[in-house]
Amino acid sequence: MSAFLSYTVIGLFTGAAYAIAASGLVLTYSTTRVFNIAHGAVGMVFAFLYWDFSQRQGMPVWLSLVLVLLVVAPLTGVFIQRVLTRGLGNAPVGVSLVVTVAILVGMIGVATQVWKQDTARSLPQFYQGHLIHLGGVIVTPQQIITIVISVIVAGALYVLLARTRIGTAMRASVDNAELLSLYGGRADVVAALAWAVGTSLAALAGILLAPVIGLQYYDLTLLVISAYAAAMLGKLTSLPMTYIGAMALGLAQSYVIGYLQDIPGHDKLGGLPAVVPTVFLFAILVLLPQAPLRIGQVKGIISAPVPTITRSMVCGALLIVAVALMASGMANSTLLNFGAAISFAILMLSLVLLTGYGGYVSLAQFAFAGVGAVIYARADQPNLFGLVLAILGAAAVGAIVAIPVLRLTGLYLALATLAFGQLMDKLVFTSSLAFQFNNPLTAKRLSLPGMNFKDQGNYTILMAVFFVLTAIVVVAIRRGRLGRILIAVRDSQAAAGTLGLDLRWLRVGLFAGSAGIAGLSGALLAGMRLTIDASTFQFFNSLVLLLIAGVWGVTSVTGAAIGGFFMMYLPVAQSNHPNIAGLLFMLLAAGAIVLGRNPNGLSYVMFLIPRFVTDSLYPALADRYPGMALRARAVGVVGEPDEAIGSDADDHSEGKVDSDAVASR
Amino acid sequence: MPLLHVDDVVVQFGGVTAVNHASFEVEAGSITGLIGPNGAGKTTCFNVITGLQTPTAGHIVLDGKDITRMPVHRRSKRGIGRTFQRLEAFGSLTVSDNVRVALDIHDGIPGLFRSAVNDVDALLELVGISDYANERADSIPTGTARLLELARSLATDPQLLLLDEPSSGLDESETGAFGALLKQLAAEGRTVLMVEHDMDLVMGVCDTIHVLDFGSIIAQGTPAEIRINPVVQKAYLGYADEADHDAGHDAGDTKVLAL
């Protein structure tokens, strides 16, 4: 009985911390419609800052708390709202998630840069060492303080929202921010205040939890999943339901740790406590009612031009030849990196299909790649059959993730993938079913009938062939009926639905297809490296992948190819220059925040250059120097990257229609 | 038996009742008008009929079958098509691709390799926007976009067409042609339910008119009956200033006053 009571106290403590974090999340989301996926990461950074003030610099605890919670955190919140995420409330989910994921990765970058991993840090609990005996249960002051603070926060939020003018405006803003500003409410002030308070609450939760779960970059960052799970009980808008959800989650987690870990053979369940929020979240998602389709005209999006199939094939063949030439001159160690880049480029293609064309976001593409790698290695079929098995297995897992979220919108789907990615990280990949903990899995080199790819260079060329084939499939989908339907859905879900399209299964299919491509990339990587472990597929890599896609563009094959190389190069650069590793994350995050609002990314700029040459520069030069005409034309043709020619595109802003576009009908 | 029966429908948003025990019927093959002052709940009624909005209470019966809980896309398969007051054209696609994608969706997998070029051209011709076929849908004028939504909806071969303010953005001669088109569609056996502010059009083409005010049906009858109904006059005149003000430059609205 006393064990039960102890677990209950621990559960209430955890639940109270979750409640504080979750109420901050609800406050920011409901007033601005921007889901701050970096909520946990913000809490993490401020826990580190609090450690820096109170431990490293030796400031008094009260001063450190005041500085962090009442000065730095609110200012940061206002900065995030006013500068980084402003106007994202009505943006497509692909854009708002890229920006908030960038903030998350940027926060990790800040923490790893400022507070480097080489020193061990710990935060003492409040009044550490003082134990209180309450009816046979030992309670720490930290636990009591946290529970009391959560009650105070609940009361303060109630007074703020129900009894003050600005609080009333906040509640009005939940229902309709546009309407609020029409009636003279200061929507911008409301939003800034909500983010100031919300960020402060994230910091408070981080500071309260850090002494117990440790001052670590990733564990505190993942607090957002628990907060999100709790907040979902109140559909991200109800604070009372959020508190109930947080307490239920805290207790469930505590009981799972308390009781299940005593079961013999518990070592297999080592990751179980960490996945309680994920399971809790999926249970709530399944129970939520159907979300209404959003009405309200979304303006058409200018996409990167889509090449014809013939053109893709020609460019693909050239790419394979180029890879073959480069591979012939490379050392094996360089080839390993080169191959990884091609594998990541294939993984990027899975995002082109899902995000670029479909408008949905996944935060777990590496988890799907991991599934493909594990199936390929475990099936021990180093041939096409094994590859197909890996693709189908990953696709099936993708569908399984999407189905519970069937009735909800893209944001919930993306957040479900984040929870899923963590589940794979903590439970599945480390289990004996998959890689096992710190235990690499061996895979065999792929072979095709009559062909041998033992040579590293040959295998690299084979991977390039797979990249080209996948790219052609993706482009063919975009050019065909399905591609047209995907664009239509991205523009107006309500219209597509009233025309008779079942959006739910389209989404499951899209997710499965994208996961299948990810599975292919993982299997090819396993076949190249021959040994493969869980760290390659950890959830954080999926976030970095999304940001690189955001920078280079997620709407084109070219963007995917360039992005793949950056995905490979980033960790290489970080291990070569460990003292700026965090800075590189911050740079990537800054790039994604700046460029993430245009899904076409930097690679789109490359498409504009030849169009500038042919449309503006060439006529201008030809006018001025008649003799140059021939040469300028030659430059214009040769200098075009593979997807570049405006006249080949059927979805161009100018709406040009040419023989190719007509022929494709 | 009526094709559509809206039965005692209630829609509440928080404390606001947008539709308040509204009941009306639409006869097969008819052109029926649904009119009322701004904010009367007309578009919300359309959203309930098409499944974009779940009613707080009440039923929608199509052709004798209760479809209140049916998902949006299955209602389309049962023959409900609609256009939107706030345009929902697929802005990234060309005008002809907007119609083509509707044919794609309607045909499903069996028509995977079917070329729909002729159908697309015929539908654009029918509503009179062939000239815009190759323009992006987010770059065409509002009136044209409304006609595009009609063509797109017709691509799914609906038996019941819900048109939400279809003539706003059209000039007088275009509106005349549009009225003729509606009569042609009805003659082909389609049923039209139309929310419209242009009273000349409503009075000219509708067989029956239902008047909605504060979410409730306050009158129904033939255009001649509605024209002289004192309750309707009061509802409109009571709102006249506000309706004029709210609608701004909405071309159809000034004519409301001339009722």
**Average pLDDT in chain A:** 85
Decide: helix, strand or coil at residue B157.
Answer: coil
- Looking at the DSSP assignment, which residues form a beta bridge with residue B216? B213
Same domain, A563 and A616: no
What DSSP state is assigned to residue A405?
Answer: G
pLDDT tens-place string over residues A440-464: 888 889 888 888 888 889 999 999 9
| Integer Cα distance of A609 and A630 in angstroms | 19
pLDDT, mean of residues A249-259: 90
pLDDT of residue A2: 77
Which residue do the tokens 């479900």 mark?
Answer: A416
pLDDT of residue A175: 62
Decide: helix, strand or coil at residue A544.
Answer: helix
Q: How far apart are the first and last CA of chain A?
A: 73
The runs of H, that is alpha helices, within A409-538 are 410-423, 456-479, 481-491, 493-498, 503-529
Same domain, A645 and A564: no
**Residue A660: burial class (beta carbons within 10 Å; 0-12, 13-18, 19+):** middle
Q: How many CA atoms lie within 13 A of A13 on its CB side?
A: 22
Same domain, A243 and A343: no
| Integer Cα distance of A263 and A273 in angstroms | 14
Q: What letter represents residue B54's amino acid?
A: T
The answer to whether residues A254 and A7 touch, using CB atoms and an 8 Å cutoff, is: yes
Any residues with CB less than 8 A from the CB of B246 and at least 6 apart, and which?
Answer: B38
pLDDT of residue B118: 61
pLDDT, mean of residues B153-178: 92
pLDDT band at A495 (very low <50, low <70, confident <90, very high): very high
The answer to whether residues A485 and A492 touch, using CB atoms and an 8 Å cutoff, is: no
| Integer Cα distance of B259 and B254 in angstroms | 10
| Integer Cα distance of A567 and A547 in angstroms | 10
Same domain, A114 and A149: yes
pLDDT of residue B115: 47
Q: What letter represents residue A490's amino acid?
A: R
Q: How far apart are the first and last CA of chain B?
A: 31
The answer to whether residues B52 and A293 touch, using CB atoms and an 8 Å cutoff, is: yes
Decide: helix, strand or coil at residue A550.
Answer: helix
**Residue A518: burial class (beta carbons within 10 Å; 0-12, 13-18, 19+):** buried
What residues of chain B lie within 8 A of the CB of A646, using their CB? none
pLDDT tens-place string over residues B58-78: 999 999 999 999 999 999 999
Q: Is the pLDDT score of A662 beyond 80? A: no
Contact yes or no for B136 and A502 at CB 8 A: no
pLDDT band at A414 (very low <50, low <70, confident <90, very high): confident
Q: Is the pLDDT score of B83 beyond 80? A: yes
Contact yes or no for B92 and A175 at CB 8 A: no
| Integer Cα distance of A371 and A365 in angstroms | 10
What residues of chain A lie within 8 A of the CB of B94, using their CB? 650-651, 655, 657
pLDDT of residue A31: 86
A299 to chain B, closest Cα gap in Å:
6
pLDDT, mean of residues A186-199: 89
| Integer Cα distance of B214 and B199 in angstroms | 20
Same domain, A138 and A47: yes
Torsion angle defined by CA atoms of residues A239, A94, A73 and A589, in that order, rounded to the nearest 10 degrees: 160
| Integer Cα distance of A64 and A631 in angstroms | 68
pLDDT of residue A473: 95
Same domain, A52 and A159: yes
pLDDT of residue A627: 60
| Integer Cα distance of A108 and A24 in angstroms | 20
Any residues with CB less than 8 A from the CB of A427 and at least 6 apart, and which?
Answer: A271, A272, A274, A275
Which residue do the tokens 């984040």 mark?
Answer: A418
Rg (CA), chain A: 26
Instruction: Annotate B150-169 with b (16+ C-beta within 10 A) or e (fewer).
Output: bbbbbbbebbbbbbbbbbbb
| Integer Cα distance of B66 and B82 in angstroms | 19
Q: Between B223 and B87, where is the model more confident?
A: B223
pLDDT tens-place string over residues A598-627: 778 888 777 777 777 777 777 777 777 766
Which of A427, A316, A386 has its CA nearest to residue A526? A386
Of A274-278, A480-484, B131-135, where does the model show the most confidence? B131-135
B72, two tokens = 């949006």
Q: Is the pLDDT score of A19 beyond 90? A: yes
Rg (CA), chain B: 18
Q: How many CB atoms are closer than 10 A to CB A664?
A: 12
A448, two tokens = 């095709």
pLDDT of residue B109: 53
Contact yes or no for A175 and B76 at CB 8 A: no
pLDDT of residue B255: 35
B226 to chain A, closest Cα gap in Å:
31
Same domain, A226 and A356: no
Instruction: Annotate A435-466 with b (16+ C-beta within 10 A) or e (fewer).
Output: beeeebbebebbbeeeeebeebbebbbbbbbb
Same domain, A330 and A226: no
| Integer Cα distance of B61 and B160 in angstroms | 12
Contact yes or no for A498 and B94 at CB 8 A: no
Asked whether residue A266 is domain-assigned, the answer is no
Contact yes or no for B76 and A299 at CB 8 A: no
Asked whether residue A295 is domain-assigned, the answer is no
Contact yes or no for B98 and A665 at CB 8 A: no
The answer to whether residues B210 and B19 touch, using CB atoms and an 8 Å cutoff, is: no
Q: Tell me the ipTM for this assembly.
A: 0.87
| Integer Cα distance of B228 and B224 in angstroms | 7
Q: Between A305 and A294, where is the model more confident?
A: A305
| Integer Cα distance of B247 and B187 in angstroms | 33
| Integer Cα distance of B56 and B70 in angstroms | 15
pLDDT band at A278 (very low <50, low <70, confident <90, very high): confident
* Structural domains of chain B, ranges and CATH numbers in brackets: 1-79+162-174+191-259 (3.40.50.300), 85-157 (no CATH)
With pLDDT > 70 as the criterion, what percentage of chain A qualifies? Answer: 88
For residue A335, give the CATH number of its domain. Answer: 1.10.3470
Same domain, A31 and A120: yes
A156, two tokens = 């303060």
Asked whether residue A314 is domain-assigned, the answer is no
Contact yes or no for A500 and B50 at CB 8 A: no
A438 to chain B, closest Cα gap in Å:
47
| Integer Cα distance of A497 and B76 in angstroms | 8
**Average pLDDT in chain B:** 86
Same domain, A364 and A501: yes
Asked whether residue A306 is domain-assigned, the answer is no
Q: Are strands B208-213 and B191-195 parallel, antiparallel or unpaired?
A: unpaired
pLDDT of residue A641: 40
Helices (H) and strands (E) counted in chain A, each on its own, are: 29, 4
A489 to chain B, closest Cα gap in Å:
8
The residues of A whose Cβ lies within 8 A of any Cβ of B are 175, 290, 292-293, 295-303, 481, 484-485, 487-488, 490-492, 494-503, 650-651, 653, 655, 657, 665
**Residue B5: burial class (beta carbons within 10 Å; 0-12, 13-18, 19+):** middle
Which of A484, A645, A618 has its CA nearest to residue A558? A645
pLDDT tens-place string over residues B168-191: 889 999 999 999 999 999 999 999
pLDDT band at A429 (very low <50, low <70, confident <90, very high): confident
The answer to whether residues A49 and A430 touch, using CB atoms and an 8 Å cutoff, is: no
pLDDT tens-place string over residues A52-104: 999 999 999 999 999 999 999 999 999 999 999 988 887 888 888 999 999 99
pLDDT of residue A628: 56
Domain end point (choices A517, A541, A576): A576
Decide: helix, strand or coil at residue A451.
Answer: strand
Element (H or E) spanning A138, and its range? strand A137-139
pLDDT of residue A403: 87
- Residue B157: closest C-alpha in chain A: A499
| Integer Cα distance of A354 and A554 in angstroms | 9
Range of the domain at A649: 603-663
pLDDT tens-place string over residues A309-334: 888 899 999 999 999 999 988 898 89
Q: How many residues does chain B have?
A: 259
Asked whether residue A591 is domain-assigned, the answer is no
Contact yes or no for B73 and A301 at CB 8 A: no
pLDDT of residue A180: 67
| Integer Cα distance of A414 and A376 in angstroms | 26
What residues of chain B lie within 8 A of the CB of A301, using their CB? 91-92
pLDDT band at A48 (very low <50, low <70, confident <90, very high): very high
Q: How many CB pairs under 8 A join A and B?
A: 127
Written as one string, the DSSP assignment of B78-98 is TTEEE--SS----TTSBHHHH
Same domain, A509 and A634: no
| Integer Cα distance of A434 and A425 in angstroms | 11
Same domain, A277 and A383: no
The answer to whether residues A484 and B101 touch, using CB atoms and an 8 Å cutoff, is: yes
pLDDT band at A174 (very low <50, low <70, confident <90, very high): low
Asked whether residue A310 is domain-assigned, the answer is no
Asked whether residue A304 is domain-assigned, the answer is no
CA distance readout (Å), A273 to A1, A270, A278:
21, 8, 10
Domain end point (choices A516, A541, A576): A576
With pLDDT > 90 as the criterion, what percentage of chain A qualifies? Answer: 48
Number of domains in chain A: 3
Contact yes or no for A498 and B90 at CB 8 A: no
pLDDT, mean of residues A187-216: 92
pLDDT of residue A315: 92
Asked whether residue A598 is domain-assigned, the answer is no
pLDDT tens-place string over residues B2-18: 999 999 999 988 778 89
pLDDT band at A183 (very low <50, low <70, confident <90, very high): low
Q: Is the pLDDT score of A470 beyond 50? A: yes
pLDDT, mean of residues A396-424: 86
Q: Is the pLDDT score of A665 beyond 60? A: no
pLDDT tens-place string over residues A110-131: 999 999 988 888 889 888 888 8
pLDDT tens-place string over residues A364-394: 999 999 999 999 999 988 999 999 999 999 9
